[in-house]
Structure 1
């Protein structure tokens, strides 16, 4: 059974038990919540059935993955280094500083929309530079 079929099956089950709907929220919210919970339960069950590598192989994979992540982070920093302001600073504040768009807009004395647009332009420029490599 595919993920979609599983969710569809759960929607059907929810509709069969519509009499249990208490009306505390909209019905579409109730159905989506059922589907979401069912899907997460399904994913948890799938995790139990996956085979795990030996600890030696798993630890080797972790090392390789962490090296790849570090290399990718370095590539991003290189691409970011070549960006002009304010793109470089907005991207850095958002990604590495984990600031909200509202906080970024306060720092620059601009609107929140400005910080969103500037970040997305910066992100696009970083992605373009990464593709060029």
Structure 2
């Protein structure tokens, strides 16, 4: 049996960062993250462990966020702020000025699915390729290739803008 307090301590930041990367609203991200752990508490006994706890929590959070968007008839708009911390240094090195930051934001926003979500899960939620693959019902190799392709698409888009 998993301990919700331990889950909360270990994964709060990952879930919060993942949702914040999508909505760029700290209050909404906090609210959805809290709701995620509340729902996880109610479903803790049904967690089968087929995916890691982080993947399970991010999936709950994503479902809550999309339900929120549907309920409020809002479109999901991915925003990127130059203060965001990217894990990948080749992309991070592209952020040299506000203009380049805006270009990077546009390049990430222009990614089609699943590239955008895989990129966000890897960079913002810090999920492993194995966890991302599990989340999509695919292999970790698929997640690696999809992430790599998303990075290439971002870099290609930035090259075209030069």
TM-score, normalization: structure 1? 0.45
Higher relative contact order (CA 8 A, sep 6+): 2
Greater helix proportion: 1
Larger Rg: 1
TM-score, normalization: structure 2? 0.38
